[in-house]
């Protein structure tokens, strides 16, 4: 039932200037329509992964397939149409002088006729709720708004996969929520596959599946519940456990047994007030 949309087979990659492998014999599959979070601390190889997936770098060994196409020098342009990327810094990926110009940039690159461009720019800005900002210049927008424009730019190209490369790490909590909510809605609507590369485990908690990277290798792979039950091990990898998981643990220390791991604050709060009122 699960169709693999991206597959990595025995991929290794090394930067010229470094002795250590940034990625060391990595293999895994990403399935159609899932939200996959790739987590790991700095230097774990997670950002290198993003660069490999859309051909900004090529692996020294191993193979990468995206939508059934093998990634190589010739196929990168086709693959980049199918795989949209949102980067970390909201300012450094805003190419156009106004919101609409920026959304159109990707379309211009792919030689889409002008009439269709106008349509697609309007549509994708509506999807991210930025249609009122058509003529706005980037320095008048908040970080979250800029990231939503970046998502619109990606959407306009009608990709099947969106990669969020630390896309929320420079935003304030509100901007972060704004961006993640937008992606969530779009994923439902367009049955997109989302790959979110992050070191924020709160964000990863909302994914369908998590891959934990460490020292260029896949350390663990599983559902958020499975991953957060690793507990101390995660802390040793330099990752911070979500607040709700920490709380659950603290309750247990106090002798209050809760039914399961809670991955969001709402879930935990709900469990707490309902269980107390039962007594």
Site for another protein contains 158 (CB under 8 A): no
Do 38 and 213 touch, CB atoms closer than 8 A? yes
Q: Which is nearer to another protein, 66 or 268 (CB)?
A: 66
Show contacts with another protein in window 43-82 (CB under 8 A): 51, 54, 56, 77, 80-81
Task: Judge whether 177 counts as a catalytic residue.
Answer: no
Give DSSP secondary structure letters for 158-219: --SEEEEESTTTTS-HHHHHHHHHHHHHHHHHHT-EEEEEES-HHHHTTSSEEEEEETTEEE
Residue 61: phi and psi, rounded to 5, are -145, 160
Taking CB under 8 A as the binding criterion, the range among 32-40, 92-100, 226-234, 244-252 that sits at the site for another protein is 92-100
Q: Which is nearer to another protein, 83 or 212 (CB)?
A: 83
Binding mask 9-48 for another protein (x = CB under 8 A): ----------------------------------------
Q: Which is nearer to another protein, 120 or 199 (CB)?
A: 120
> Which one of residues 70, 108, 265, 266 is an interface residue with another protein (CB under 8 A)?
108
Q: List the one residue out of 220, 215, 218, 253 whose CA is nearest residue 234.
A: 220
176 CB contacts (<8 Å, ≥6 apart)?
A: 144, 168, 203
Residues in the chain: 279
The label of the residue with tokens 């949309």 reads 5
Residues with active-site annotation: 166
Residues of the shown chain interacting with another protein in the complex, contacts defined by CB under 8 A: 51, 54, 56, 77, 80-81, 84-85, 87, 89, 91-98, 100-101, 104-114, 117-118, 121, 137-139, 153-154, 157
């Amino acid at each position: 039932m699960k169709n693999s949309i991206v597959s990595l087979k025995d991929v290794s990659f090394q930067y010229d200037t470094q002795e250590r492998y940034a990625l060391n014999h990595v293999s895994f599959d990403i399935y159609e329509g899932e939200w996959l979070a790739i987590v790991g601390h700095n230097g774990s190889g997670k950002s290198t992964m993003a660069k490999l997936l859309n051909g900004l770098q090529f692996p020294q060994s191993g193979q990468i397939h995206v939508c059934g196409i093998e990634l190589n020098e010739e196929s990168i342009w086709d693959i980049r149409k199918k795989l949209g990327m949102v980067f970390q810094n909201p300012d450094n990926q805003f190419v156009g002088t106004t919101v609409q110009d920026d959304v159109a940039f990707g379309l211009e690159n792919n030689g889409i006729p002008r009439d269709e461009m106008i349509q697609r720019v309007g549509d994708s800005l509506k999807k991210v709720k930025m249609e009122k900002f058509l003529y706005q210049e980037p320095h008048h927008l908040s970080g979250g708004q800029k990231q939503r424009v970046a998502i619109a730019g990606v959407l306009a190209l009608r990709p099947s996969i969106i990669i969020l490369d630390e896309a929320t790490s420079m935003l304030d909590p509100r901007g972060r929520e704004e961006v993640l909510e937008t992606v969530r809605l779009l994923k439902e609507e367009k049955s997109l596959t989302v790959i979110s590369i992050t070191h924020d485990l709160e964000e990863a908690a909302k994914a369908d599946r998590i891959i934990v990277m460490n020292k260029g290798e896949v350390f663990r792979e599983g559902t958020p519940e499975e991953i957060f039950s690793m507990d101390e091990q995660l802390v040793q990898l330099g990752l911070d456990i979500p607040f709700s998981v920490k709380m659950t643990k603290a309750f247990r220390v106090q002798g209050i047994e809760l039914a399961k791991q809670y991955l969001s604050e709402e879930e935990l709060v709900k469990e707490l007030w309902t269980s107390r009122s039962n007594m």
